[in-house]
Structure 1
Amino acid sequence: MCMRLMTWNINSLRLRLPLLQRLDAQHRPDVICLQETKVSDPLFPLQALQALGFEHVHFAGMKSYNGVAILSRLPFTPMTELPVWCQRNDCRHIGAAFETPTGPLLLHNFYVPAGGDVPDVALNDKFAHKLDFVDEVTRWFTDTPPRRSVLVGDLNIAPLEQDVWSHKQLLNVISHTPPETSRMADWIGTGFVDAMRHIVPPSEKLYTWWSYRNRDWRASNRGRRLDHVWLTPDLMDRLKDIEVLQDVRGWESPSDHVPVIADIDIVPTA
């Protein structure tokens, strides 16, 4: 038995709840991490999610923007001592601790700022905030080295050349600029392994996001890998498989991101 973990930028939970229900029926994840839920906490559709069997739910949301959630069939303890990044309470990170026979498993769910359109900190406050956010998170993990941890989410950075449809054309496009990719390397270097690239070699194209601007996204295939699954080295021997559910991008009224599923050979204590 494995823990089946799904991460997905759902781009509005209430709008795409039927897609989440369809995904659950097809793949039966034990834990789902959502980003960009775009719903304030009082309006969070808790009963609908519990009706699917996700009895354990932790979420932080705001109206129309951002928002993260962890849905689980397995019991967990929410992580309550996490930083307020960049002194903004903008609902971009939550965590959970699962008990297992070999010790706790820590799960981090992140939604990193997108960064706007202009890759210049002097001209674009959103880009400056994105770089500051990643710097601050990296310092925190440096000071608090991760152990038995999984980090997932929409990190809004495509770090490798084969994580974008054209490395040369996107070098000055936010999500693939050197200031971002170098910072992601530093973040991973605090104690994580890029688990998706452990399964799919770095020489192969791998995308999780296709812009709404591409009328025929499948034909043009101008994608980027913005969604990530990282494990600490002490869990890598437990990783069994990772799958990018690309076909979900073609469903009716989709998110521009697709879900990623990781199977990890750890059975939490019920």
Structure 2
Amino acid sequence: MKLKITTWNVNSVRFRIDLVAKFIKAARPDVLCLQETKCPDDKFPLKRFKRLGYEHAAMNGQKGYHGVVVLSRFPFESTSKRGFCGLTDSRHISVVLGEQAGLKDPIVVHNLYVPAGGDIPNPDVNPKFKHKLSFLDEMRDCEEVHVNGNARSILLGDLNVAPREHDVWSHKQLLDIVSHTPIETEKLNAAQKAGGWVDAMRELVPEPTKLYTWWSYRSPDWKAADKGRRLDHMWLAPALMDRVSDIKISKEARGWAQPSDHVPVTATFEV
């Protein structure tokens, strides 16, 4: 059985619902994990997604900001969500896929949206950056988002850090730019290690190959400049690594009309 799972920071699900539908019809993922939906749960366009084949939704949304959702062609065995840093920001949702999805052994999927952190990489003068660092520390310490002996776990989403030298267009020029500073990289790597996760995208496509999932709106010609960053991630429990056959970055979506600045990342599993 093949299982396709997509992560995408859509940057407003209602504004970009037609683009999401375009992607779904082409890629046909079984599970679609969105971040930055910017939509309270009671305003989420569920009817449209049901027409597209996604009968099941686990939502954690809020008005105008943040928001995460898991949409699925299959029922969930269970769902859960948690806050971070003592706040009610909608930044985490998890689901368990099991027998109702045709799986003999269940798969846990965590969908996360890490704070962006603002523009100034100094926690003493920028509370947004301080929040981001605290969030990454909590990811490191939170057993709820660790593998925890579950051989079939996935953590994915917009983690808002490009941790490796070749995850950005210029390592030297971005060392003091939020998303690639040494302290962010250190904390994301610590969270990955403490959680028992494998960076699946880099296992399949090792450095020095460049990998990007985000291109700034500030660039007048993003494609020609190609100054991207890998902010969206797919982390797997080690035992799932031999089950992932492909991970695709849908770069073409950045060139659609009124796009998100992030593009979909889709993993295909042989489960």
Match of residue 169, structure 1, among 169, 173, 190: 173
2:247 is equivalent to residue 242 of structure 1:
yes
d(CA) in 1 for partners of 2:252, 2:146: 38
SS at 2:160's partner residue? coil
With the length of structure 2 as denominator, give the TM-score of the two structures. Answer: 0.95
d(CA) in 2 for partners of 1:168, 1:13: 35
Q: Is the 8 A contact 1:58 1:78 kept in 2?
A: no
Q: Is the 8 A contact 2:114 2:132 kept in 1?
A: yes
Residues 226-265 of structure 1 mapped to structure 2, 5 A cutoff: 226-265=231-270
Match of residue 133, structure 1, among 135, 139, 161: 135
Aligned position for 1:35: 35
Aligned position for 2:161: 157
Q: Is the 8 A contact 2:110 2:156 kept in 1?
A: yes
> Share of identical aligned residues, percent?
50
Aligned position for 1:119: 121
SS at 2:137's partner residue? helix
With the length of structure 1 as denominator, give the TM-score of the two structures. Answer: 0.95
Q: Is the 8 A contact 2:168 2:229 kept in 1?
A: yes
Aligned position for 1:104: 106
Aligned position for 1:2: 2
Aligned position for 2:94: 95
Mean Cα displacement is larger for which, 235-244 or 138-147?
Answer: 138-147
Deviation at 1:207, TM superposition (A): 0.2
SS at 2:15's partner residue? coil
In structure 2, relative to structure 1, the CA distance for the partners of 1:46 and 1:143 (3 Å cut) is closer
The one-letter amino acid paired with 1:105 is I
Mean Cα displacement is larger for which, 30-39 or 41-50?
Answer: 41-50
SS at 2:66's partner residue? strand
d(CA) in 2 for partners of 1:240, 1:232: 15
The one-letter amino acid paired with 1:160 is R
Unaligned stretches of 5+ residues in structure 2:
none
Mean Cα displacement is larger for which, 208-217 or 98-107?
Answer: 98-107
In structure 2, relative to structure 1, the CA distance for the partners of 1:52 and 1:143 (3 Å cut) is closer
Instruction: Tell me the number of residue pairs that the alignment of Structure 1 and Structure 2 aligns.
Output: 265
The one-letter amino acid paired with 1:192 is W
Q: Is the 8 A contact 2:147 2:153 kept in 1?
A: no
Aligned position for 1:65: 65
The one-letter amino acid paired with 1:26 is A
